[in-house]
Amino acid sequence: MQILQGKKILLGISGGIAAYKTPELVRRLKDQGADVRVVMTEGAKAFITPLTLQAVSANAVSDSLLDTQAELAMGHIELAKWADFILIAPATADLIAKIALGMANDLLTTLCLATAAPIAIAPAMNQQMWHNQATQNNIKTLMSYRYSIFGPGAGEQACGDIGLGRMLDVPELVTLTCEQIAKTMPDANSSEQKPLSGQHWLITAGPTREAIDPVRYISNHSSGKMGFAIARAAQELGAEVTIISGPVNLSTPESCQKISVTSATEMHQQALEHAPAADVFVACAAVADYRIDHIASEKIKKSQDTMQLNLIKNPDIVADVAALANKPFTVGFAAETQDVEHYARDKLARKKLDMIAANNVAAAGQGFNSEDNALTVFTATDEKVLPLMSKNELAKQLVQHIQDKLSKSLKTKS
């Protein structure tokens, strides 16, 4: 049976250009068996008409808190009680701020206060607005209220900027909605234990930053999306998950513990501290190979045409975890631009890993800062190709493959 079959989903739409995607979102939710009702803000109606959404949802669209006819039946309370799940997409910076402050000056914000249903928001705004400290504080507030944050995605925006802030595409929003409802509304007849129950997964994610002086650093283009997707997939299958993350602009998956670090040495310290208690260690972070020999205490002035930086090698996190006496099942990543299989197999053997997932980050449309990725997964005895797909779906397949290999490994040892 479809996860959304018979579920009552309230779709809230605020005034962003991404509102043009919402008729397709309604269609796809209905394809999954959901009954969808739509609530629009005044701003949303500047981008998409209520009539369009009424046609695709087959339900009347609500757009006013002070609708006299609706209020005869306490319409906002009726909607709040009706919903099994509320998805707000797009969620503008303005709407996010209002909800975080507990405001109730229109129908949509009032519903958020009046409902007991789980709520997810899909942010959509200019990249600078997303990074603004006020927006980030509001997001943290909503997370503390147990709101789920779907996105945002990265890429070219309507204003011409490039970066985080785009609303996720419809297929990903539908997938995340299904996943969230599966977690918050489990089948009452199901007593089946999840396959990773009782396991502790430790995952590194994102880039590291190696300071040059108080204002500059060396880093890379890793967004952390792949590592966080793996963490989410493992958690949904029942694992206890800890993420050791470099600087990223991602929401921590629900029920996962996040340890924030900046440099490779900090990540190395945390990894070695937590790895002995882990069943699986996935080294997904893009760790800087080198760091500055001497970090300047003051900003280095531009006084010469050339400047020399002395670099020293960083500790090898995944190799040191694999060398532990009581090591977890250790999975490395090899992000390469050429001879991917050669370098991956060499790293697998040299660092004594149980598995390595290799990807070509030079290929268009996959790898760093992309929504999609493709992997070839190697062990000492075989390989498995995971073709180009969304990082969320790829993570699920990788986690399942790791679990299959781990189970075989445990059977062999016993």
Proportion of the chain above pLDDT 90, given as a percent: 54
Question: Tell me, what's the pLDDT at 281?
Answer: 97
Span 186-210, mean pLDDT?
79
Rounded CA-CA distance 61/59 in Å is 6
Q: 290 near 313, Cβ under 8 Å?
A: yes
Count Cα neighbours of 209 within 13 Å in the Cβ-side half-sphere: 15
Q: Above 60 in pLDDT, residue 131?
A: yes
- Let me know the angle formed at the C-alpha of 293 by 289 and 295, rounded to the nearest 5 degrees: 110
Domain ranges of the chain: 8-184, 200-413
Question: Tell me, what's the pLDDT at 63?
Answer: 82
202 — phi, psi (to 5°)?
-115, 125
Question: Tell me, what's the pLDDT at 66?
Answer: 65
Cα distance from N-terminal residue to C-terminal residue, the chain: 38
Q: What kind of fold does domain 200-413 have according to CATH?
A: Rossmann fold (3.40.50)
- pLDDT tens for each residue of 151-161: 888 777 676 77
Q: Indicate the pTM of the whole model.
A: 0.57
Span 142-169, mean pLDDT?
80
Span 290-296, mean pLDDT?
94
Span 216-220, mean pLDDT?
93
Average the pLDDT over each of 260-264, 311-315, 349-353, 391-395 and give the range with the smallest value: 391-395
Proportion of the chain above pLDDT 70, given as a percent: 91
Taking domain 8-184, whether its CATH number is 3.40.50.1950 is answered by yes
How far are the Cα atoms of 15, 269, 375, 390 from residue 393, in angstroms, in the given order?
30, 31, 12, 5
- Residues carrying an active site annotation: 159
Q: Above 50 in pLDDT, residue 1?
A: no
- pLDDT tens for each residue of 40-75: 999 999 999 999 999 999 998 988 776 655 544 445
Fold matches, 8-184 and 200-413: yes
